[in-house]
Structure 1
Amino acid sequence: ALGGYLEVITISQNDSYIFFSLSTESSNVSRLVGSSVNLDIKHRVPKFDHLSWVFNKTNSVLKYYTHSKKIIQSSAYEDRVEFNNETYSLTLKNLQKTDSGEYEAEADGDEVIVAVNYRLFVLDPVEAPDLNHQLSNDTCNITLTCRSHDLSINSSCYKETCEEKNVASPGGVTLSLSVSGSTIICNHSNSVSWANITLDTGNICTEKGLHINT
């Protein structure tokens, strides 16, 4: 018996298609725009007549026929797809944000088997954040603002102690303010890229002829 779950979809009173799934959960994969991704089938796939990689349930990426070794590829993926007819893995190249979505490998034999399911997120690289500071008039107490396109953090340094903070957007973009010695680090990141900017508080205080309170 196959692992996973059994789903019966009835399309008329006399016909039905039976789908088996070898995996009950999607694997999330994130990649940068312009990069590549390899979608593997990690389970052994039972004997089949043809195997299809499908995008968002209805859009065919390619179809592979076992006996003839023939591959029929969608024109929408011309020069951007590679298929391994031994492992049945799919490689997508030059990824665009429109490639984000769900990918399934369906093996069609005595029944239709969903061999694997991926959810792909194609993301732009993050931009470097801004880090602004303001000094108090007579001491080296510093007010900080760490800002990205849609996130912002306000913090301060007092008596050599800086308040570390982080915020995140629903889309998984993170902005953080951290400290390493006398260096303030403002970091902007998502699941595939990061960029930061730093500020040396010791240099600021020296240039202004001020001192850090202790």
Structure 2
Amino acid sequence: MEILVTILLLLIPVNSAAVKKNLTSTEGGNVTFPDPLQQTGFLLFGTQVIAMVVNGGLNIPQNVFRDRILRNSSTGALTLTGLQRTDSGDYSIQSVVDDVSSRFLYELKVYETVPVPSVDRVSNDSCVLLCSVGAAEETTLSWYKDVELVKSSSSAASLDLSLQRDDFSAEYKCVAAKPVEKKPVSVHVHTLCPEVSEHNTGRYVVLIVFIVISLLLLALFILLYRKRKKRKQSKGSVKEEEVEYSDFIIRQRLNPEGSPPDAVASDRPPLINTLYAKLELHQMKPDHTTVGENV
């Protein structure tokens, strides 16, 4: 029956030239062919028929694909599951719709699963890190500093990276990639190179302490300068609240007869003058002396 269906399908003219489409996946994964097989047709691996659809029913003649080919009854899409490296190759779908045959070509590439890279320190004198993978076939190793690509190599089993002390503040990761997937691993530089990290941290601590001390000295200088300036201003001018006023009356000394000693001055009114002086506050003691007569 398989031979008969194949002969019949080959005898039906193809409507147009087929363009090969590239498909990729990894071991253990799945791949769905983009063109459906609706009513009648078959799926070939190279020149070998591995699945047939007759009147909407799926028939898988090859035992190696019997439990691995699935068909969506609604859309007619075919899916190949449990992929292996040996599944890589050329596939084709030939279907018949309304007595018109259509052919679709595919090239499937099945890659090994990308291994998780490992990172180790390889130098005791400096911080040199080595990123490596077990299988390097078609694997690209890359070093990233934050989001910037700093180093990369294709089909290499390992890739090293030398770090300087000034680079420790950034985040690093090594990425192993293949065309279908990639796997990154973050690198804890402070754990792999602790003595370099501590030395670098000590530099920042000294710098911070120096800055703090400089700021404190500057603040002290400004405070002393303002204090000195304020003291000079207080010495050069007298504050209003430190000035007190007092009135003094100067009386003339009278003769025993009760007349002024100078006849000329007797016609003048008593002289009244106001004196100003800076007064300082002192603790006053009570005066117990007897006040004599006015002089």
Counting only pairs closer than 5 Å after superposition, residues 33-44 of structure 1 correspond to structure 2 as 33-41=27-35
- Within the candidate set 75, 79, 82, 2:67 is matched to 79
Deviation at 1:82, TM superposition (A): 1.5
TM-score norm. by structure 2 comes to 0.48
> Retained in 2: the 8 A contact 1:55–1:102?
yes
- Asked if 1:123 is matched to 2:111, the reply is yes
Partner of 2:224: none
Partner of 2:289: none
Deviation at 1:164, TM superposition (A): 1.2
TM-score norm. by structure 1 comes to 0.63
Deviation per CA, 1:156-197: give whole Å up to 9, x if none.
x9xxxx98111223xxx9988899953321111213333333
| CA pair 21-55 structure 1, distance change in 2 beyond 3 A | farther
Larger Rg: 2
SS of alignment partner, residue 186 of structure 1: strand
SS of alignment partner, residue 62 of structure 1: strand
- Paired with 1:190 and 1:154, the residues of 2 have a C-alpha distance of 11
- Asked if 1:89 is matched to 2:74, the reply is no
* Matched residues, number: 179
Report which structure shows greater RCO (CA 8 Å, sep ≥6).
1
> Retained in 2: the 8 A contact 1:126–1:188?
yes
Q: Which amino acid aligns with 1:147?
A: S
- Paired with 1:123 and 1:98, the residues of 2 have a C-alpha distance of 10
CA RMSD of aligned residues (A): 4.1
Partner of 1:113: 102
> Retained in 1: the 8 A contact 2:142–2:174?
no
> Retained in 2: the 8 A contact 1:81–1:91?
yes
- Paired with 1:180 and 1:38, the residues of 2 have a C-alpha distance of 46
- Paired with 1:165 and 1:118, the residues of 2 have a C-alpha distance of 35
- Asked if 1:192 is matched to 2:180, the reply is yes
Partner of 2:239: none
Partner of 2:50: 61
> Retained in 1: the 8 A contact 2:30–2:83?
yes
> Retained in 2: the 8 A contact 1:174–1:189?
no
Segments of 4+ moved more than 6 angstroms: 151-155, 173-180
> Retained in 1: the 8 A contact 2:142–2:176?
no
Counting only pairs closer than 5 Å after superposition, residues 1-214 of structure 1 correspond to structure 2 as 18-21=13-16, 23-24=18-19, 26-41=20-35, 50-56=40-46, 58-66=47-55, 69-76=56-63, 77-108=65-96, 110=99, 112-114=101-103, 116-134=104-122, 137=125, 142-148=127-133, 149-150=135-136, 164-169=150-155, 182-208=170-196, 209-211=198-200
- Paired with 1:105 and 1:154, the residues of 2 have a C-alpha distance of 38
- Paired with 1:38 and 1:153, the residues of 2 have a C-alpha distance of 29
- Paired with 1:153 and 1:85, the residues of 2 have a C-alpha distance of 42
Runs of 5+ in structure 2 lacking a partner? 1-10, 162-166, 205-295
Deviation per CA, 1:108-143: give whole Å up to 9, x if none.
4755421x2222222221222232335574xxx533
> Retained in 1: the 8 A contact 2:132–2:159?
no
> Retained in 1: the 8 A contact 2:142–2:153?
no
SS of alignment partner, residue 211 of structure 1: helix
Q: Which amino acid aligns with 1:167?
A: S
Greater share of strand: 1
